[in-house]
Structure 1
Amino acid sequence: MRYLLFIAAGYCCGSILFAYFLPKILYDVDITEISDDKNPGTHNAFKYGSKVVGTEVLILELLKGFLPVFLGTQFLDVSNNVFAVVMAAPVLGHAYPLYRHGRGGKAIAVTFGVLMGLFPIITPLSLLVFFYLLFSCVIRISPDSCKSIVTFLCFGVSALLLIDIRAVAAGCVVITAIVLYRHYQKHMTESLEISLFRKRVV
């Protein structure tokens, strides 16, 4: 029962799209309407809101992943396989919030929050930070969506190989699957919109 409570709480926390609500409340700006990728994420909060609101969104997005998982590590057994679902719940909530009919964000910031919540287990967070830095500063990949896909692929594989706690490794793999599938859906939606636009123009 405790695991179910943390899974439900994590999903509900994750489904609060701060990048959508804060710009709308403070600036009357709907970033899902005016942004190119329609993504209710931290990047668009910075781009279409302001540095202040972007920073606030970033902190809140990290917290909504951090708090459910960190509290879970205090009350649950992280080696229990169900803990993988506790880890994935905030990410799933952000990517597929019920009240927006599944139209959530790409779940990058909330993933960092989840991995921060595993402290003192730092290997998962270290891996994700390493691959983001690698593909941002050393082997530069663009656009950002492609960089995120490659980063999470490497993160998921390395988590399986390097993380000793199987439940935590499984949680990283499940998170990777959610993020990759969300990116795939976003790409397919954008491609369909471009195709329909071209047909209307022709």
Structure 2
Amino acid sequence: MLTDVLLYTLIGYLSGSVLYSLLYRKLFHTDDIRINSRDHNPGAANAFKNGGMACGLFTLAGDFLKAFLPVYLYIHLTAHSLWSIGAAFVIAAPVIGHIYPVFYDFKGGKGITATFGSLAALLPIWQPLALLAILFVFFSTVLRITPNYYRTLVTYAIFLPCIMTLQINIAVGTGAMLIAGVVLFRLLTSKETKDEFSMEPIWKR
């Protein structure tokens, strides 16, 4: 049991440490998408904005699958599945790898797409994935928070305690909370230049 947890946690972390926007740059000899961005984040948003549609799709798919596959394989190829509390570390490992990638001096992205990848692998346990998606949609449309830094910060800050209210597998809940905690730590310790916080309700537009 412990061996499987350690193995898939390591696989997940190493998989998460591959930054696909930077891999795209090496494969197709394009500019670094981080250069012209305020947050220097190698994630999907900057890949679309600064690298174009092909770079964005490559990054989005890569960042999603690098988290989805290790968690999915752990669940379906080991006998312990999600009954072991150690599964929480398997769930969180790809996101931690994306945020603190060993291949890039531990300087990675915010882990949003990777979070969705890890949580999607848990289906049919759908509650954490649905909760995170609803929060992002709510703060992007109904009560629109800008810039993206604060939208992500508020989303994960609410996501973290809400996880504890869901009646789900304890390993899944713990894994989701670990992800939220690491993302929040990454955001709160970020030195990126931040625009002024803005919140605009849909009924005032």
Give TM-score, length-normalised by structure 2: 0.88
Tell me the residue number matched to 1:81. Answer: 85
Corresponding residue for residue 55 of structure 2: 53
1:2-151 residue pairs with structure 2 within 5 A? 2-74=4-76, 75=78, 76-151=80-155
CA offsets 1:130-179 (integer angstroms, 9 cap, x no match): 10111111111111110111111111111111142111111111000111
SS of 1:135's equivalent? helix
> How many percent of aligned residue pairs carry the same amino acid?
38
Where in structure 1 do 4 or more consecutive aligned residues deviate above 4 Å?
Answer: none
Deviation string 1:42-92 (CA, Å, 9 cap, x unpaired) is: 111101111122012101111011001111111233131111100010001
Q: CA deviation at 1:4?
A: 0.6
Bigger shift: residues 70-79 or 121-130: 70-79
Residues 169-184 of structure 1 correspond to what in structure 2 (within 5 A)? 169-184=173-188
Structure with greater helix share of residues: 1
Shift of 1:27: 4.3
Which runs of no fewer than 5 residues in structure 1 stay unpaired? 192-202
Does the aligned pair in 2 maintain the 1:95–1:103 contact within 8 Å?
Answer: yes
**Aligned-residue CA RMSD (Å):** 1.5
Residues 14, 102 of structure 2: 8 Å contact kept: no
* Aligned counterpart for 1:157 among listed residues 134, 143, 161: 161
Distance 1:60 1:91 in 2: 13
Write the distance in 1 (CA, Å) between the matches of 2:106 and 2:166. Answer: 32
Q: Which segments of 5 or more consecutive residues in structure 2 lack a partner in the other structure?
A: 194-205
Matched length? 190
In 2, Cα distance between equivalents of 1:166 and 1:45: 35
**Comparing 19-28 and 58-67, the one that deviates more:** 19-28
Tell me the CA shift for residue 30 of structure 1: 1.1
Deviations, residues 81-140 of structure 1 (Å, cap 9, x unaligned): 111100010001000012222101110000000001101111110111110111111111
Alpha carbons 1:124, 1:163 under 8 Å: kept: no
